[in-house]
Structure 1
């Protein structure tokens, strides 16, 4: 950046030369709030002040706004620059796992209407009209939905007891479901890449490590550490993952480069950091 450019940035209240592209959760005043940082972990900045625990975050497609789901079921749009929050009218109370669709028009979430957390189903709703679409009516727990990159399908997890927790997908238009893994121990934290590859955290080897399920069904292990690796999120170009890990004792955000297998720690928060979500806008430019 030139001296003139630096001066202009300072005059305009610019916070950092590097664009902030990864949102994550970290503790502030006893609550899990929303923070943002660039993809090198420089100058993390607190964004929200809900004074309540945030449980799920996702980016709208322009990279300017986040959909925030609080632990109590409330939802908000959160401006990624100002931190201004505006309430989203929920179609039903108790919504969990809410994430915005790639076109920004819908959200998918999990919810139990049977007063039991073990009977959650997957739903979508229109953010403008509130119109509801129930995607699943399966036995036991369906949760952690995530969108395919084209918004035509929703991947989710289904736990039917025992020692398995499998990956499924549902067609948004037809509601047809397909089971992608069968009795393959525990899978969590799905993240879909445009080519259909799914990143997830799995315990097939006894520890929760990062894996990829390729479009042909082949499973590839990426990390191998006795501590927890979880919550992967794809970079916009699909060449890296950000994730949460306890591999250095504290839970913090790390980055994994698929080409080199290089690992880099991105945060060192006093009370930990978790649930990274990479902006869909390349480089976080807004």
Structure 2
């Protein structure tokens, strides 16, 4: 991985900033055209996630009276995937698996007193907790091979970046004060916003801890 991308929007133009791992930022602009509403419901719809094949959109909405995950084709109508009825339950951060057959998300519906990661099949038939801990587990990111999930948690008393296998085993902390993890395409590195002493910015992190965090953009 030799470049990182992040976005800034200016009116009808999307400004894509590519941060070179070895040098300064590069910049390119992509015209967005006219926005097209995918949902016209008056209820809240947020946290969109496009499927890997680009044909479906997962999002959170309270249109059923409580926070739930909904999935819709980009040219069709939404279908409710989870069926929570308690308005006090919060659900967020849906993320597709690389194959598009599962989603991982964050919810406090499990009764642990915290927010856990849950994994649900794309057809809604299987919905199981991945983490069970009275902590805040959030910002999940699926590894490219689909075998691990990186996430942010305060389970040891302070925010940090953690990894877990899909069966809930191998829960390991890899960095303190790291957020918004993104995997490299080959799964060898994670990029994250990281606070390290007096410095903060985008860092490259090793999933196995073999290399110290390296700042590529302050």
Q: Shorter-chain TM-score category?
A: 0.7 to 0.9
Could you tell me how far 1:201 is from its partner in structure 2?
A: 0.6
Corresponding residue for residue 91 of structure 1: 39
Cα distance in 2 for residues equivalent to 1:41 and 1:170: 39
Unaligned runs of 5+ in 1: 1-17, 47-80, 269-286
Corresponding residue for residue 135 of structure 1: 81
Q: Of residues 177, 180, 192 in structure 2, which corresponds to 1:243?
A: 192
Preserved CA contact (<8 Å) 1:41 1:267: no
More strand by share: 2
Preserved CA contact (<8 Å) 1:23 1:34: no
Corresponding residue for residue 70 of structure 1: none
Corresponding residue for residue 168 of structure 2: 217
Structure 2-normalised TM-score?
0.81
Query: Over aligned residues, Cα RMSD in angstroms?
Result: 2.7
Unaligned runs of 5+ in 2: none
Could you tell me how far 1:265 is from its partner in structure 2?
A: 1.1
Bigger relative contact order, structure 1 or 2 (CA pairs below 8 A, ≥6 apart): 1
Cα distance in 2 for residues equivalent to 1:201 and 1:143: 13
Corresponding residue for residue 147 of structure 1: 96
Cα distance in 2 for residues equivalent to 1:247 and 1:171: 37
More helix by share: 1
Query: How many aligned positions are there?
Result: 205
Could you tell me how far 1:188 is from its partner in structure 2?
A: 1.0
Preserved CA contact (<8 Å) 1:255 1:266: yes
Q: Of residues 24, 27, 35 in structure 2, which corresponds to 1:43?
A: 24
Q: Deviations over 1:71-103 (max 9, x none)?
A: xxxxxxxxxx53211324322454311121111
Q: How does 1:61-76 map to 2 (within 5 A)?
A: none
Q: Deviations over 1:176-219 (max 9, x none)?
A: 31112223411010001123200001111111111101134220
1:266 aligns to 2:188 (yes or no): no
Corresponding residue for residue 22 of structure 1: 4
Q: Deviations over 1:149-186 (max 9, x none)?
A: 10001111112477410111111124431112223411
Corresponding residue for residue 150 of structure 2: 199
Structure 1-normalised TM-score?
0.64
